[in-house]
Amino acid sequence: MATEESAGGARKATKSKLFEFLVHGVRPGMPSGARMPHQGAPMGPPGPPYGGSTAVRPGLPSPGMEPSRKRPAASQQVQQQPAVQNRARKKPVGFPGANEMPARQMDMRDAQSDPTLGSNAKRRKMADKILPQRIRELVPESQAYMDLLAFERKLDQTIMRKRVDIQEALKRPMKQKRKLRLYISNTFNPAKPDADDSDGSIASWELRVEGKLLDDVGKQKRKFSSFFKSLVIELDKDLYGPDNHLVELMGSHAKWHRTPTTQETDGFQVKRPGDVSVRCTLLLMLDYQPPQFKLDPRLARLLGIHTQTRSCIIQALWQYVKTNKLQDSHDKEYINCDKYFQQIFDCPRLKFSEIPQRLTNLLLPPDPIVINHVISVDPNDQKKTACYDIDVEVEDPLKAQMSSFLLSTANQQEIASLDNKIHETIESINQLKIQRDFMLSFSRDPKGYIQDWLKSQSRDLKLMTDVVGNPEEERRAEFYQEPWTQEAVSRYFYSKIQQRRQELEQALAMRNT
């Protein structure tokens, strides 16, 4: 949980510093309440440029056109619109065209109105955070924001890399060696001649087998029986005979074995009649997870492994093959067995795919833990308890923390909110930069700027409609007194005559038929 909180806190702190710098101009390390001085000319009046909508250029006619002017079809409008956006043309510096509203602002509005656009907006978020170069030159202090942005990118990459490492680590078993302390004790109940029940009139002893995990820091304590797959207690055959020397545990089985419906317990107890000391043997089979196997003696000596999991055994085999260069140089799928492999696998050559199947006959159940104990009926030995420490493997507590870190969504909502605020602030800065450029260009040469603006408006209007020529020149009489007008009139009448002739010929042909 500490890793999860530190990672989430670092991301949140970085986002907060980015937002504070953009909104209040607070650089990292500056005292609270301090502000950076602004340099250069003011960024322009608040609100959209020119007091109008940012989506419509001043002077642009309303969507409703005059009835006398033609409008293109819907399909032509769709084809013409990209041409307007992509056409390279000269216009006043900083002036926003009718179709040049910043795409990021339009995307953000669309994403707010339509939740389905959220994924597309996220893909552009990293680029949207970057301040344009001209703004960075205008405000040198903005370099602190870019440094924070680079730090955030490094932090995100580090967290992502660590998440991938954790995911890979969780795929492998994470075990920890711990000590399981085993307590073996017994009590003796002497016979009572005046007892009414049959149990009291016969001498008996009771054996207890209990245990606990040392330094168990888990919230839920593991039961003693959960560490074992089976438990067998063998009593002295000379006293209890060959048919009654295996103790029935829990009153149901001669041997205790784990089943899917087994209820875990903190210990076992066995009660038997007797008034003499008894030698017993405890056989405890650990419940290995994942399962472990004892190797055939010949293979164990070759690999230097006594008991291990199947995957570790196969890995040791592969290491032996590589070390001794047993892989066939022509057919990599085969292994050329040396004299030891030939004795173990009984073949001169075998495939890699055959190894798991051939290993089945060479893997045996692991040896049980054997404890010899004497059940004493001497009253002086009643309070003695035998203790044994057993090495067991338990789940690493770090695994639960790693899983919770991957599944945690802490601080995600706050980080997303800070991200949105940063994007909105960057959009506002870009809009203010556009306003400032417009005002500066207008202040340098008001007349020339207005003339350039009108020319740009006229070019855009031609592209957005199907108007051919220059309407402003065509409405003057001098336009029709140019030398080319005579030839244009002749061509016009000639085309009309040809069109009328074709219509008459078609009419006569239809009448003759």
Q: CB within 8 A of 81, min separation 6: which ones?
A: 99
Distance separating alpha carbons of residues 31 and 5, to the nearest angstrom: 26
The total number of residues shown for the chain amounts to: 513
Can you spell out the DSSP letters for 386-417? EEEEEEEEEE-HHHHHHHHHHH--TTHHHHHH
Contact 392, 286 (CB under 8 A): yes
Buried b (16+ CB within 10 A) or exposed e, 115-148: eeeeeebeeeeeebbebeeebeebbeebebbeeb
Buried b (16+ CB within 10 A) or exposed e, 453-463: beebbebbbeb
Whether cis (ω within 30° of 0) applies to the bond prior to 290 is yes
Please report the beta strands in 225-348, taking only residues with DSSP state E, as ranges in sequence order. Answer: 228-235, 256-257, 267-273, 278-286, 292-295, 307-309, 334-336
At residue 206, the pLDDT reads: 86
What SS3 state is found at 280?
Answer: strand
Contact 108, 121 (CB under 8 A): yes
391 DSSP β-pair partners: 179
At residue 17, the pLDDT reads: 66
At residue 194, the pLDDT reads: 67
At residue 20, the pLDDT reads: 64
Query: Considering the entire predicted model, what is its pTM?
Result: 0.50
At residue 57, the pLDDT reads: 39
End-to-end alpha-carbon separation of the chain, Å? 95
Contact 278, 205 (CB under 8 A): yes
**How many CA atoms does the CB half-sphere of 270 hold within 13 Å?**
26
Task: Count other Cβ atoms within 10 Å, centred on residue 80.
Answer: 15
Place of tokens 């996220």: 122
CA nearest to 204, candidates 259, 275, 149, 144:
275
- Which amino acid is residue 209, in one-letter code? V
Strands 334-336 and 363-364: unpaired
**How many CA atoms does the CB half-sphere of 104 hold within 13 Å?**
20
pLDDT under 70: residue ranges of the chain: 1-126, 194-200, 217-220, 241-258, 382-383, 467
DSSP state for residue 323 in the 8-state scheme: H
Distance separating alpha carbons of residues 213 and 394, to the nearest angstrom: 10
